[in-house]
Structure 1
Amino acid sequence: MRVTIDPHTEGVLNNDAGSTVRRSVLPAGVRVLTEEMPGQRSVTLGFWIGVGSRDEAAHQHGSTHFLEHLLFKGTKTRSALEIASAFDSVGGESNALTGKEHTCYYARVLDTDLPMAVEVLTDIVTSALLDPEEMEIERGVILEELAMAEDDPEDVVHERFGAQVLDGHPLGRPIGGTPEEINAASREDVFNHYQRWYRPDELVITAAGGLDHDHVVSLIAEALEKSSWDMTVPGSPAERRVGQETEIPVRAGTETIIKPVEQSQVILGGRGMAASDEDRFALSVMHAVLGGGMSSRLFQEVRERRGLAYSTYSFSSAMTDAGYFGLYAGCLPNKVEKVTEVMAAELDRIATVHVSAEELTRAKGQLRGGTVLGMEETSSRMSRLGRAELVRGEFVDISDTLEQIEAITAEDVRKVAARLASSPRAVTVVGPA
């Protein structure tokens, strides 16, 4: 079952295998989506803001990720220690993530501790102090985080590959910003970014687990009324991003980043597809065959038969209006050329010759199992609701997803692979000189 999510739709979106999905819109435009999972004693709660690194003005690069850190550093009523202690004292967990198109603050707690989680997350999202002294402390923490990522060559090759494939586009920028941008960020720039995006019409709250939808909505409404936001002004949910695919040039050819490491990291790939593309199920099957596990073609050819690498896989990254794909391997520097040649050959082969019936069956089984097992976690279901609301504007239940996977044919896989293989190819290498 697929349900298109109109901005003003309220009520039941889905009732699949006893798991009920409901959606409400508060008068100020805040959207609330829940999935009740009978028998669960935990709840995962997420506060989503539809802003990511792609939305930053030129003088605000890195501000979205900066805010992710700063919102845990204190509000008008809670210190940073009190925020952390609220979850530690009940055995819960809280964290946040910044993406290219959204930010999410989330917590996982026992169902009986849901009121506390709603209250604390509402407080940090709506009433952060963004204290100048705390900002200076956190600036140092973020610089350490960036340095840690720069020391991981696999992180580096993925970051640089994204920039190469999405050449010059905001989607190609690093989510956390650069050290230069973080050092240059002013409190005023970060505060203005906060004021621009953190408001009722941009807020989406999702929750999954042992809950009652009406109770969750009541808790959220009560917490928002106590917040710094003016909830008396009527409003409508913010418009979603346009899903029409954007043409972005690929910086084709090979780019090498020199690092004093023992192993080279290689990615070969190009432009992929947007998150809502109808070929996304065929793409998932293609990746399962090509690089999705130990029985995949890349693993068998690159590692098992030739011994060229320890780790190898394929992947895709999809945003609202763009995407990219890649084939990865970590190998000795003197094997980079051969590994790249083999990966290119495997991409061309799956784009021209039908996969076997055995491979197709195995890939579908892998995806079905991964889908169902992944959805046993409340955090996965909470995230699914957020993506459905912010990215696709459509809720797809598990049964429909499994049917879509099962309907994929060998020709569907070949066509989607041919579509990817026709993209101008980029190769990014991180390794020694």
Structure 2
Amino acid sequence: MPYALPLVPAGSGRDELLAGQDGATIRRTVLPGGVRVLTEHLPGQRSASLGAWVGVGSRDETDGHFGSTHFLEHLLFKGTARRSALDIAEAFDAVGGEANAATGKEHTCYYARVLDADLPMAVDVITDMVTSATIDTDELETEREVILEEIAMNDDDPADVVHERFAETVLAGHPLGRPIGGTPETIRAVPRDAVWEHYGWHYRPETLVVTAAGNVDHDALAAQVGDALVAGGWTLDPAAAPRARRDHAAATVIDEARALTVTRRVEQANVVIGSTGLAATDERRFVLSVLNAVLGGGMSSRLFQEIREKRGLAYSTYSFASAHGGLGTFGLYAGCAPAKVDQVTALLGTELDRLATDGITPDELRRSVGQLSGGLVLGLEDPGSRMSRLGRAELVFGELLTLEESLERIAAVTLDEVRDLAADLAARPRTVVRVGPFED
């Protein structure tokens, strides 16, 4: 059985040993204020990966605050009451470590990797950023230009554009359809006060999850986190509980077939066809992983073999899935010559339909299970991947699967389950998005 991650009251003394295998030990503690700390101790490691997760993403932005989540990802590195932007950068450079951040549709993570001896420094700096960012007006205006350049860079990549516009079109009208980084219009419009409000609303003890993996002492880390948060000015109420996890009830969108053409004067056309997909907690997510591996997950996949190897119509082609609270997307991508885009689009749809009608073969099931299992095990050789796994388990799933259980769930997928899910996805209204030198 998976290890449940209940939202127990802070100060309850709840300190759990979640798992212990292959010498690794996973522990979880809820601190006063509702702060959650999860660690995975990995014997023999000389490094540690640390993540400070805040359960807010671009879908949580309200009118007048659009773009604030991505803005904060940048601005937290620009200084606190105790540190300048240069101080933050030098702290990690001086020990050969690295620090960065990532904004998603449903959470933001500030992370670092350092030698085990330097973990206290990383905790101090990251928590200082999370609790005490100054959101300086001049820095904000400078970073506004940086973010606009980032958006422009992404807009110059037609592969990025086709994926962004696909999500926007399939999830039209839903907050998940908004771009994570904001748009040029929202970034130019959002004022400093709105970013500051967004920071105050969401960067709070009850939303914070701290995860670490590597040569980590759980008790020492939990104590360091608590002390650092208090030093940063946060009040850790002993009676406070963690904020409830996101509602994963099915979200509503207008599910209909759509077509969009984005004109770009480029040499290669990019096309995605697809539909709504599965929510993050859907029990069929392991079936979807197998389906995705067979359809477009590697060099032996059907899309790769049919479109690239047999016909030479594309260099890159694959299938993909994106899962969120209550909603997801599923799509098939290819980049090809503009003159071939109609043929390639038809082939993408044909391969999905064939999967829905005929299912997959026992050999394909065996290969995909092996591919997914090997990738999972190899991925967890990296402490950063283990740190991220803890964060997703706490914020998204509310349960932590052991490696063995994850492998068992992959291995338990059947031929009928894959065919049934393929039929479900193939029957959904399809959206087609093309980016290239076309007329709209």
* TM-score normalised according to structure 2 size: 0.97
1:169 equivalent to 2:160? Answer no
Alignment-derived partner of residue 6 in structure 2: 6
Answer yes or no: is the 8 Å Cα contact 2:262–2:436 preserved in 1. Answer: yes
CA distance in 1, matches of 2:256, 2:184: 24
The CA deviation at 1:320 is: 1.4
Residue of structure 1 in register with 2:208 after alignment: 203
Q: Partners in 2 of 1:147 and 1:228 — Cα distance? A: 37
Residue 131 of structure 1 corresponds to 136
Amino acid at match of 1:3: Y
1:73 alignment partner in structure 2: 78
Query: Is residue 45 from structure 1 mapped to residue 50 from structure 2 by the alignment?
Result: yes
* Mapped partners of 1:33, 1:129: distance in 2: 28
Residue in 1 aligned with 2:66? 61
Counterpart among 212, 215, 219 of residue 220 in structure 2: 215
Deviation at 1:17, TM superposition (A): 2.1
After superposition, the C-alpha distances for 1:272-329 in whole angstroms (9 at most, x for unaligned) are 0011111011100001100000100000000111111110000000001100100000
Moved more, 269-278 or 218-227: 218-227
Q: Which residue of 2 aligns with 1:304?
A: 309
Could you say which residue in structure 2 is the equivalent of 1:245? Answer: 250
Q: Deviations over 1:157-188 (max 9, x none)?
A: 00000011101100000011111111111000
Deviation at 1:233, TM superposition (A): 5.8
- Distance between the aligned counterparts of 1:251 and 1:257, measured in 2? 19
Structure 1 counterpart SS, 2:34: coil
Does 1:270 pair with 2:282? Answer: no
Structure 2 counterpart of 1:6, which letter? Answer: P
Question: Residue 335 of structure 2: which of 330, 333, 340 is its match?
Answer: 330
Secondary structure at the aligned position of 2:434 is classed as: strand
Are 1:167 and 1:250, in contact at CA under 8 Å, matched by a contact in 2? no
- Equivalent runs, 1:101-140 vs 2, <5 Å: 101-140=106-145
Task: Give the Cα separation in 1 of the matches to 2:82 and 2:213.
Answer: 27
In structure 1, C-alpha distance between the alignment counterparts of 2:364 and 2:26, rounded to whole Å:
35
The residue matched to 2:3 in structure 1 has which SS?
strand
CA distance in 2, matches of 1:243, 1:302: 36
Aligned residue in 2 for 1:318: 323
Q: Is the 8 A contact 2:291 2:418 kept in 1?
A: yes
- Count of aligned positions: 433
Q: What SS class does the counterpart of residue 22 from structure 1 fall into?
A: strand
Match of residue 399 from structure 2: 394
Partner of 2:40: 35
Structure 2 counterpart of 1:371? 376
Q: Which residue of 2 aligns with 1:429?
A: 434
From 189, 192, 196, the counterpart of 1:191: 196
* Whole-angstrom distance in 1 between the partners of 2:276 and 2:177: 12
The answer (yes or no) to whether the contact 2:166–2:433 under 8 Å persists in 1 is yes
C-alpha deviations, 1:128-162, integer Å up to 9, x for none? 00000000100010000000000000000000000
Q: Which of 228, 231, 234 in structure 1 is aligned with 2:236?
A: 231
Give the unaligned 5+ runs of structure 1.
none
**Contact 1:268–1:344 (Cα < 8 Å) also in 2:** yes
Give, in whole Å, the separation in 2 of the partners of 1:181 and 1:355: 45
Partner of residue 292, structure 1: 297
Q: Which amino acid aligns with 1:7?
A: L
1:181 counterpart residue number: 186
* 2:360 counterpart (346, 352, 355): 355
> One-letter code of the match for 1:164?
T
Identity %: 59
Letter in 2 for 1:328: Y
Name the CA distance, whole Å, in 1 between partners of 2:428 and 2:397: 24
* Other-structure match for 2:421: 416
Distance 1:251 1:263 in 2: 28
Q: Secondary structure at the match of 1:57?
A: coil
If the length of structure 1 is used for normalisation, what is the TM-score? 0.99
Provide the C-alpha distance between the structure 1 equivalents of 2:323 and 2:44, rounded to a whole number of angstroms: 33
User: d(CA) in 2 for partners of 1:95 and 1:46?
Assistant: 10
Q: Give 1:251 shift.
A: 4.7
* Secondary structure, counterpart of 1:106 in structure 2: strand
**Out of 128, 152, 160, which is 2:157 matched to?**
152
- CA distance in 1 between counterparts of 2:134 and 2:165 reads 34
Moved over 6 A (4+): none
Q: Is the 8 A contact 2:116 2:216 kept in 1?
A: yes
- Deviation at 1:423? 1.0
Unpaired stretches in structure 2, ≥5 consecutive residues:
9-13
The 8 Å contact of residues 230 and 236 in structure 2, kept in 1 or not, is answered as yes
CA distance in 1, matches of 2:250, 2:4: 19
Q: Give the residue type in structure 2 aligned to 1:39.
A: G
Kindly state the Cα deviation for residue 21 of structure 1 after the two structures are TM-superposed. Answer: 1.1
Q: Determine helix, strand or coil for the equivalent of 2:279.
A: coil
8 Å Cα contact 2:169/2:258 also seen in 1: no
The whole-number CA distance in structure 2 between the counterparts of 1:423 and 1:17 is: 43
How far apart, CA to CA, are the structure 2 residues paired with 1:359 and 1:326? 20
- Is the Cα–Cα contact under 8 Å of residues 93 and 108 in structure 1 kept in the other structure? yes
User: What is the alpha-carbon distance in structure 1 between the residues aligned to residue 179 and residue 287 of structure 2?
Assistant: 29
Deviation at 1:103, TM superposition (A): 0.3
Q: Which residue of 2 aligns with 1:90?
A: 95
The alignment yields a C-alpha RMSD, in angstroms, of 1.0
Q: Distance in 2 between matches of 1:187 and 1:16?
A: 48
Local SS of the residue matching 1:38: coil
